[in-house]
Amino acid sequence: MAVPADIRAVKRPVNTIVDDSGRDGPKRYAVRKRAGEKYVQGGNPQPRNGKVIGHIIDHVYVPLEEKTAPIVPDMLSYGASALVKSVTSDLFHDLLAVYPAEEAYSIMSMATLKVIKPSITAMRMSTHYKRTFVCKDYPGAALSKNTVCNLLQRIGQDGTRRKMFYQRRLAQMSKEHHIAIDGTLKQDTSKVNDLSDFSYKARVKGCRDVSVLYAYNIELMEPVCAEVFPGNSIDASSYPAFIRDNDIRKGILVADKGFPPSKIKEELKERPELHFLTPIKRNDSRISENDMLSFEGVLTGIDAHVLFKKKQIKGGHYLYSFKDVRKASMEEANYLARARASKAFDTKKYEQKHSTFGLLVLESDQDLDPKTAYLCYDDRWLLELVFNHYKNDECLDKTNVQGDFSVIGNEFVNFISTVATCRIIRKARQCGLLEKISYGDLMDDLSSAWRRTDAPPEPSSDDGYWVHTLKYVFDELEALGLSTPEPKPEPKKRGRKPKLKESESIKPKRPRGRPGKAANQSARLL
């Protein structure tokens, strides 16, 4: 198709031609560079056209834009990702020791994003990765939806690596440490997951559950390992399997009534440095046989008013009985309220229960101080707080990944994010921040602290690289050790400046000493 003369007349680079594509649009007339000549047998040489170097647009030559590297944002959300990084360096190193580097980067990125954005889905991982300093902390992490799903599948299939990771964490424990073991049920929304089955609770709710069993280090106030079981798996039957699978060999297991020591007899025999501290039922015959309601004294150094008794029983085990007076009063009041509501007060039954209100009896194979035994079991509420956060704040109470292995892989990432959360809560509490605001509000505040990507690695509140960060957010960053505070001006000296005398304010003060020669000469002239 012939190119109009007015188009050909437009000024353009030499050794070029104008090619008409015939299609309407701004790029109809392409400018091509001459690439040489081609010889035709029996004819004259013909020009050979090369690549397009531009276009004639609105009678103006417009060269092609050179392809450049992708645009990199010059600022990212900093505060929340920096906080997670500050408490997870050992976890990251453990991942690098077990997984290939590229997978360790992706796992740590996913876990960090789940802490920052609890409700995040696989589809949104990449988006939030690119808008936070997570992409700078763990560069090159592959977090597209398909890549994330494939990685979770591989993690779930490779039980050896997961066990190696947990073993590194368990190796840091002392044999004097106490391990609380408990589980939580998670609602499963997957359509192809065989792991989930109807638990008793699930039958009532009308959905399927997956059981996640956690081992929690009471001294460190954080989980040390976890494992996924089918939803219909009974806690007591999961107990020995959990110990064997994770090869827990030292510490004192602190469990509730759902994990009786009778279920782990063989495991305890094989592990001489592993012990137990477990409550028994209030109607257990050993309580009356050993006169455990005849208390010996009151525990000191705790807030509650608790009576106690300790006794060694047959078989070498020890019983520890405690009666919390305040809890006893509350339990009695609740019992009487229920009896009044049902109009079925039974005097005999009331007398039997009266002595057991507020009662806690523990069994152990260890000779412990009663106060130590009580606090070990009482501190289990920390694990309940973890599960509460697990289900509510982190929105991890549901699993919607597809397939058994994906569920296991997803729970592994959730475990790392839960450890990070425990450490953040502990750090924020030590700084006194949780006395002022909630954990969720703190993370929101820190997420609003944006910083330029070319900023130095050690932030200062006055370094000029922050983007629209509020004063109270700086206070939180500084309290957490994430930003060096702005140097404060030197305090002014107290007291008033001395007043000048009237004569001193008018005449200059004569310098001390004899006057110089010049002064003497001027005096003689006068």
What ranges do the domains of the chain cover?
5-63, 73-256+395-486, 272-379
Per-residue pLDDT of the chain (526 residues; tens, 9 = 90+): 688 999 999 999 998 989 898 888 888 999 999 887 777 777 777 778 889 999 999 999 999 887 666 677 899 999 999 999 999 999 999 999 999 999 999 999 999 999 999 888 889 999 999 999 999 999 999 999 999 999 999 999 999 999 999 999 998 888 788 888 877 666 544 444 444 443 344 444 444 567 788 888 888 878 899 888 876 655 677 889 889 988 898 888 888 888 888 889 999 999 999 999 999 999 999 999 999 999 999 999 888 899 999 999 988 999 999 999 999 999 999 999 999 998 888 888 898 888 999 999 999 999 999 998 998 888 776 666 666 655 554 444 444 555 778 889 999 999 999 899 989 988 998 999 988 898 889 999 999 999 999 999 999 999 999 998 999 999 999 999 999 998 877 766 676 666 655 555 555 555 566 655 555 554 444 4
Residues 6+ apart with CB under 8 A from 454: 74, 465
- Tell me the DSSP string of 375-406: HHHHTTHHHHHHHHHHHTTS--SEE--SSHHH
Q: How much is the pLDDT for 133? A: 97
- Tell me the DSSP string of 277-307: EEE--TT-HHHHHTTTTS--EE--SSSS-EE
Three-class SS state of 229: strand
Q: Pick from 419, 320, 349, 488: which is nearest to 112 by CA?
A: 419
**Burial degree of 426 (CB within 10 A; 0-12, 13-18, 19+):** middle
**Burial degree of 106 (CB within 10 A; 0-12, 13-18, 19+):** buried
Residue corresponding to tokens 């010889």: 39
Residues 6+ apart with CB under 8 A from 483: 459, 460, 461, 474, 477
Q: How much is the pLDDT for 23? A: 86
| Helix, strand and coil in the chain, % to nearest 5 | 40, 20, 40
Q: How much is the pLDDT for 180? A: 82
Q: How much is the pLDDT for 313? A: 93
Strands (E), 129-273: 178-188, 208-217, 222-230, 251-255
pTM of the complete model: 0.71
- 181 strand-pairing partners: 215, 255
Rounded to 5 degrees, φ, ψ at 238 are: -75, -25
CB neighbours (10 Å) of residue 441? 13
- Tens-digit pLDDT profile for residues 462-471: 999 999 899 9
Residues 6+ apart with CB under 8 A from 452: 74, 75, 465, 466, 467
DSSP for residue 9: T
Cα 104 to Cα 96: distance, rounded to the nearest angstrom:
6
- Tens-digit pLDDT profile for residues 115-160: 999 888 889 999 999 999 999 999 999 999 999 999 999 999 999 9
Rounded to 5 degrees, φ, ψ at 2 are: -65, 135
Cα 142 to Cα 121: distance, rounded to the nearest angstrom:
15
Cα 230 to Cα 411: distance, rounded to the nearest angstrom:
13
